[in-house]
Amino acid sequence: MRFGLLLLTMFTLHAGLPAIYAEETAEPQTLEQVFAEGVIDLDAAPAPPIVQPSTELAPLAENENQLISAPAQQTSVCASGAGCTCSTCTCQAPACSCEPCGGNACTLCDRIPLLNKFPSDRCFDDFIMPVSNPVWSIDPRSLTYVRGIFINQMIDAQTPVLGAGDLQVYALQLGIALNERLSIIAVKDGYNTLQTRGVGNRTGWSDIGLGLKYVLIRDVENQFLLSGGLIYEATNGSSRVFQGNGDGVWTPYVSIGKQIGSGHLIASSGYHVPGDTAEESQSIYYSIHYDHPVTSKLSAVAELNGIVYTKSGQALPLNIEGGDWINLGSSSVAGNNVVTTAFGANYRLNSCLSVAGVWEFPISNRKDLLDSRTTVTLTLQF
């Protein structure tokens, strides 16, 4: 029985070998034949599982972490301007820093170390200083500057006592910014030459005017300033050119500045209070300045100045006064009002040096001593 089963098994294997061998030696099918015979069914094949990437990063080795540097700090415009001695002020936390000379070649201002210790507030650099009425039209910014002034004023032929003539003034103004709000200003000094038909040729020194200025409101974002201060004019000048009379004059004042579009408005007003009301007249003054850029360096300038006399003096029996530079102490000027206007330009030679010039003339019926005036300034700002 067992022997028969063994023979049957051997026979079955022998019969199947040719078929297996035929399949292995058959010629390979093409890819089209395989798909046609349905050997591979792509539609029925299951889609591979989608593996979500892991959001957890493997911790860096200590040496790998040292190779990664921190991102560079972003630089933004410095809002306060503190500590800046040049026009390019940047903020780099934790404190403000300033790029020396604005990235350009240093100018003359950067080579004068004494005044560079008291830098101007550079966050209002586009403003331009008023030109006409140079003593009393006060710039509201806290600035360190030196400004040379030349005035040539023509006197009308109908002027009582003096007659036709002219006045020249050679002056030097100075400002020292103790910080971005407080500054010391020297607004009046200089040497005068006076030539008229009535009194001939005369020369002499001007009175000296010194004061303080404090910025009450300093809004960098809106480019707005409000300042106030007090100026004292001493009596050290020469009487030959109508200076040195009285017992000094105190002048409290306010000044505002505002950017309007690409232009800038500066307005100031104050009250002249003489120490000796018999020798000098009392008055209220006002000045309005507007500048507008024409090019990157050139700006047009328009200004308006006025003075209203509130109380007469008793020094001279006249109905005219001297305006911004001279106080005659005339006895019949209370209620008089003189208004002038000026037009000109300002040119920036570089980031700290500028030259300006305006021509001024009266627009009121009253002229007093000012028939017309030319004022030229050269300003070095630190």
Strand 224-233, strand 89-92: pairing: unpaired
Pick the CATH number of 110-381 from 2.40.160.40, 3.10.20.600, 3.40.190.10, 1.20.1430.10: 2.40.160.40
Given a contact cutoff of 8 angstroms between Cβ atoms, the answer to whether 344 and 361 are in contact is no
Q: With left for phi above 0 and alpha for psi between -120 and 50, is residue 101 left, alpha or beta? A: left
| Torsion over CA: 314, 316, 319, 324 (sign) | negative
Q: Which residues contact 305 (CB under 8 A, 6 or more apart)?
A: 132, 133, 137, 285, 286, 287, 288, 324, 339, 340, 341, 342, 360
Where do the domains of the chain lie? Answer: 76-106, 110-381
pLDDT digits (tens, 9 = 90+) for 19-54: 443 444 444 454 445 444 544 444 444 555 554 544
How many whole angstroms separate alpha carbon 376 and alpha carbon 382?
A: 20
Among positive and negative, which fits the CA dihedral 36, 37, 43, 49?
negative
| Burial class (CB within 10 angstroms; exposed 0-12, middle 13-18, buried 19+) of 226 | middle
Mean pLDDT for each consecutive 10-residue tract of the chain (382 residues)? 45 45 45 46 49 48 44 42 41 39 48 75 95 97 97 95 95 96 97 95 97 98 98 96 96 98 98 97 98 98 98 95 95 97 97 95 96 97 90
